[in-house]
Homo-oligomer: A and B are copies of this chain.
Amino acid sequence: MTATVTSPMTAPTAASMTGRYGSLVEQWRAACPAEWQAYTRHAFVQGLGDGTLPRAAFLQYLVQDYVFLVHFCRAWSLAIVKAETLEETRACTGILDALVNHEMALHVQTCAAEGIGEATLYGAIEEIETLAYTRYVMDTGLQGDFLDLMAALAPCCFGHGEIGLWLAQEAGDTPYRAWIDTYADPDYQQAMAQVGAMIDGAARRRLGEAPMASARWPQLQHRFTTATRLEAGFWDMGLRGGSCRA
């Protein structure tokens, strides 16, 4: 389903990302290279970087991403429900605050500039890719524990961080510069570094000092990989440009 990657833009070197967001994320990411690349170097992403992404695709993405954010707020709230240390509670509350009071507001503002009012955002029919991704994350939280939920939340957080850094370096003249800046922003990067450190702590607390050697690792990796697949599906949906509904 994913489009072929043909962009001439330079890929981020493995080294440039190593350890940036902590060791667990690094291990999850390294264990599903094909899915991770299909997501972070998706044609949609490259179109943001070289400016070739059709406006209709970007608008389709913007509207669905607003819906996505609503459920992402719910998912980080579920993380607080499942947190078992004060550090976990505080980190998740910080993310939630940023999402509700900053990122969603920014989204409403960006959409308004595109002539999409809040009423349209609120009333948007969810595409199947939006439903699949957001509800998979929620159900992961219901079925598993805090760490399972983190594995399903991680691809969005850190993938956008990685995409932002990559495009900030490589992107040419593009009308999507503001989007790139959002995720390349040092504040976003620092927040993600903190979340990554919190996830490493959460893993130590539940899996011990060698998480990859633990019995739960394959299941956690499966959740990370599935969410990564669903991120790529979300870009696919954007590329359809709003012409199709589940």
Contacts and interface: CB of A to CB of B under 8 A. Distances in A.
A216 to B, nearest CB: 5
Interface stretch (A20-28, A57-65, A142-150, A176-184): A142-150
A126 B205 CA distance: 21
Contact of A246 (B80, B89, B132): B132
Interface string A69-110: 010011001111111101001100100110011000000000
Main secondary structure of the interface of A (DSSP, over half): helix
Contacts of A100: 89-90, 93
A131 B142 contact: no
B219 A215 contact: no
Interface string A97-137: 10011000000000000000000001000101101101110
A134 to B, nearest CB: 8
Contacts of A206: 215-216
Interface in A195-210: 204-208
Interface residues of A, number: 53
A243 B2 CA distance: 13
A238 B135 CA distance: 21
Contact of A132 (B135, B219, B245): B135
A153 to B, nearest CB: 14
Contact of A77 (B78, B229, B245): B78
Nearest to A225: B125
Given A81-B81, A93-B100, A131 B215 contact: no
Interface of A: 1, 70, 73-74, 77-84, 86, 89-90, 93, 96-97, 100-101, 122, 126, 128-129, 131-132, 134-136, 138-139, 142-145, 148, 204-208, 214-216, 219, 226, 229-230, 232-233, 244-246
25 contacts: A1-B128, A1-B245, A74-B83, A77-B77, A77-B80, A77-B81, A80-B96, A81-B142, A81-B143, A82-B142, A93-B100, A97-B97, A128-B129, A129-B132, A132-B132, A132-B135, A134-B139, A135-B136, A139-B139, A144-B145, A145-B148, A206-B216, A207-B216, A208-B214, A233-B246
